[in-house]
Chains A and B, each alone.
Chain A
Amino acid sequence: GAVVSQHPSRVICKSGTSVKIECRSLDFQATTMFWYRQFPKQSLMLMATSNEGSKATYEQGVEKDKFLINHASLTLSTLTVTSAHPEDSSFYICSARDRGTVSYGYTFGSGTRLTVV
């Protein structure tokens, strides 16, 4: 089945630094990927839709200059948290759909636990 690889799985960074998270579709092409944020014991909140070859579409209230998304190829999208602060600490998850299948469900990466100290 479709596999989405997300890296790193955990990262600890100092306040004010930037962190890049990668999301790769391993055995399929994904023109669209989604980035979610999840706080402990809460649901997944969509941050942005990453479109291959074009600008990402951000959800209301998500700062596009803080959460930079780049979808440079059909198998890779990156999320960069710039000038990270402790309140950015969260679980970030990406998802992608294999456009070669009829299923409309998305395959999720295993998530990245970001801790800003």
Chain B
Amino acid sequence: GQQLNQSPQSMFIQEGEDVSMNCTSSSIFNTWLWYKQDPGEGPVLLIALYKAGELTSNGRLTAQFGITRKDSFLNISASIPSDVGIYFCAGQLTNAGKSTFGDGTTLTVKP
């Protein structure tokens, strides 16, 4: 089946720094999604990308859908302590289909 490689696995940064994480796939997806999961909770959707090359922002978050449709990145600018959590990328082949999730990037922000 399809696999997503998400990197880095974990990040330890200082408050105020910018963060970048990415996801690559061996095959194409038609939709890329980025989620954040807090401990003991379900993931929350941050950004959805529907077109190759699309660049979308949500506050301090920016994500891009790679031109090849096999990758995506998420940037967080000026990190704050509440950004702590696990960030997952997910790809979908069909618009209402099932999602394949990456392994997650655990973000720690030091005040």
Query: Is the CB–CB distance between B40 and A106 below 8 Å?
Result: no
Chain A residues near B73: list those with CB within 8 A: none
Q: How far is the CA of A49 from the CA of B94 in the complex (A)?
A: 14
Contacts known (A43-B103, A104-B31); A32 close to B96, Cβ less than 8 A? yes
Query: Is the CB–CB distance between B42 and A110 below 8 Å?
Result: yes
- Summed over the interface, the residue pairs from A and B with CB atoms below 8 Å come to a total of 56
Q: How far is the CA of A6 from the CA of B100 in the complex (A)?
A: 21
Chain B residues near A97: list those with CB within 8 A: 96
For residue A34, CB closer than 8 A to chain B, the reply is: yes
Q: How far is the CA of A6 from the CA of B41 in the complex (A)?
A: 11
Nearest chain A residue, comparing its CB with the CB of B47? A105
Which of B48, B50, B99: most chain A CB closer than 10 A? B99
Q: How far is the CA of A6 from the CA of B40 in the complex (A)?
A: 13
Q: How far is the CA of A93 from the CA of B88 in the complex (A)?
A: 15
Chain B residues near A110: list those with CB within 8 A: 40-42
Q: List 23 A-B contacts (CB under 8 A).
A: A4-B42, A32-B96, A34-B99, A42-B103, A42-B104, A43-B101, A44-B88, A44-B101, A60-B1, A93-B42, A93-B43, A103-B45, A104-B31, A104-B50, A105-B33, A105-B35, A105-B48, A106-B45, A108-B35, A108-B43, A110-B40, A111-B41, A113-B40
Interface residues in chain A, defined as those with a beta carbon under 8 Å from any beta carbon in chain B: 4, 6, 32, 34, 41-46, 49, 60, 91, 93, 95, 97, 99, 103-111, 113
